[in-house]
Amino acid sequence: MSNPQNRAGSGASAGGGALGQLFEQAQKMQAAILATQEDLATARVDGTAGGGLVRATVNGGGELVDLTISPEAVDPEDTETLADLILAAVRDATTNAHKLAADRMDAITGGLGAGGPAGPGGADGLGGLGGLGGLLSGGGLGGPLPGGPGLPGLG
């Protein structure tokens, strides 16, 4: 006589154990991604233009937090060039911030493409993981996974 409780996903079978391990790895990856996103929120990344005449600093999310303009860059007769330098420095800093975020996420996900930084607690940064991203954010397979919350004695 068989025990239906074991077959229902208690983790006793080889398949349930492997799925449980996969889910555990996914949870660890999610925690690492969220910690990295929090670190990126406080990171500061510079970009420059005009040989350093204009320096823009953005946070890890690409938000401008500081702008430094050298007096040599200021010509009252040519404000258009100064505006171009400012835009170039901000773009450079933003590009550098996105590269930093991508590099850090790739280090965690092994190149699976976890997406760009989402806010702490957000799942948007998990979009590049396909179905795994939805799984990590609480969606996914239409209910709790075997060995996870929602099963008696297993959550």
Q: Write out pLDDT tens, residues 43-101.
A: 999 999 999 999 999 998 889 999 999 999 999 999 999 999 999 999 999 999 999 99
Predicted local confidence at residue 111, as pLDDT: 67
Distance of CA 64 to the CA centre of its chain: 19
The neighbouring-strand residues paired with 48 are 55
Checking if the pLDDT of 116 tops 70, the result is no
CATH superfamily to which 35-110 belongs: Nucleoid-associated protein YbaB-like domain (3.30.1310.10)
Rounded-to-integer distance, Cα 133 and Cα 128, Å: 7
Q: Pick 151 or 54 by higher pLDDT.
A: 54
Give residues with Cβ within 8 angstroms of 39, minimum separation 6.
60, 104
Would you list the domain boundaries of the chain? Answer: 35-110
Contact 42, 59 (CB under 8 A): yes
What pLDDT was estimated at residue 16? 66
pLDDT score of 60:
85
Task: Examine the pLDDT at 119 and tell me if it is beyond 90.
Answer: no
pLDDT at 4 over 90: no
129 close to 140: Cβ distance less than 8 angstroms: no
Is residue 7 scored above 70 in pLDDT? no
